[in-house]
Amino acid sequence: MALKRKPAAPSPAIATAEIISLRANGKPCRRTDYLAREEPLEIRVRGKSVAITMRTPGYDAELAAGFLVSEGLIRKRAEIVEIAHCQQGEAALHGNVLNVFMAPSVSIDFERLTRHVFASSSCGLCGKASIEAVQQHFPPVTSKVRISTKTLTSLPGKLRAEQEAFDQTGGLHAAALFDAKGKMLVLREDVGRHNAVDKVIGHAFMRGLLPLEKQVLLVSGRASFEILQKALAARIPIIAAVSAPSSLAVEFAQENGQTLVGFLRGNAMNVYAHPERIHARAAAMPNISQPQTMQAVSDSRLNGTEPNEPKRNKKGNLCN
């Protein structure tokens, strides 16, 4: 692993710790290590606590806005008057309570919160009732936007080049929005992958850019059900992940019209749902059936192919 870079300037996303560095055949030495900061944030709407999440400080207003969009509590920029940290009591010292001030005419249905109000940085807000519950709030996407395989394969490199806090800590997830030509619109990092997604959605919301019907969401890790749900709330039609999707994420994408790409690495990728938005130079994109059963996965392994990696022919090229 490459050595971590020293931060050019103090960052709210980075903490330090004095450690002992060991090598198998070397002498122990003391040094300063740079850590991804993780702190709680409580989000309040009209004085009512709606969520507590463990996040990396920075872009808290975007995080709150993105969370409220993904929960279906807000839809238009004009519905929010201001988002500000609490300025009273102990909360003012720590900066860990955020107040969202809504326009007086906006009616808030707090019962639309379909999850518990506590979230951990690893799994997000847990306990979603079902895909059907989400669909009651957000209809499937119908965007006709298309993107080339060449453009898609260029995105991870662009994302990685902008992960400044990850370079310094090695401990942050990233999410980024791109247009169909591969231009990066925004990138955010956080200890929670779901927080990074909320931040980019919140960034777009605060600038009046929703719905994101022509954009691509790229995440640096795996694609979970929750990430697909958040993308659906923002109307994002194409979601790509450097790592694997979960089975529920694949099912969710198929049912909600979302193009889902996993293992986007080098010049290869796996397309798990709605391939019609991706155009390949060499050949037309085939249709995708329902998710593989366990028997189908077992059969593929017996035949020498691995379902989690793109199939290749004898020359090493991607199969048509």
- pLDDT tens across 277-304, in order? 999 876 666 777 655 433 333 333 334 4
Asked whether 169 and 136 are in contact (CB, 8 A), the reply is no
Question: Hey, which residues are catalytic here?
Answer: 123
Whether cis (ω within 30° of 0) applies to the bond prior to 139 is no
Give the pLDDT confidence of 144-164 residue by residue, as tens digits: 999 999 999 999 999 999 888
pTM of the model: 0.82
CB-CB contact of 227 with 239 (8 Å): yes
Q: Rounded distance, CA 58 to CA 42, Å?
A: 14
- Token look-up 């409580």 returns 42
**For the chain, what is the total number of helices (H) and then of strands (E)?**
9, 15
Q: What is the pLDDT of residues 179-208, one digit of tens each?
A: 999 999 999 999 999 999 999 999 999 999
Phi/psi for 36 (5° steps) reads -70, 125
Residue 121 and residue 55 in contact, taking contact as beta carbons nearer than 8 Å: yes
- DSSP-derived 3-state class of residue 32: strand
> What structural domains and CATH numbers belong to the chain?
39-133 (3.10.20.10), 147-302 (3.40.140.10)
Q: Computed from CA positions of residues 201, 207, 212, 215, in that sequence, does the dihedral angle turn out positive or negative?
A: negative
More confident residue, 133 or 226: 226
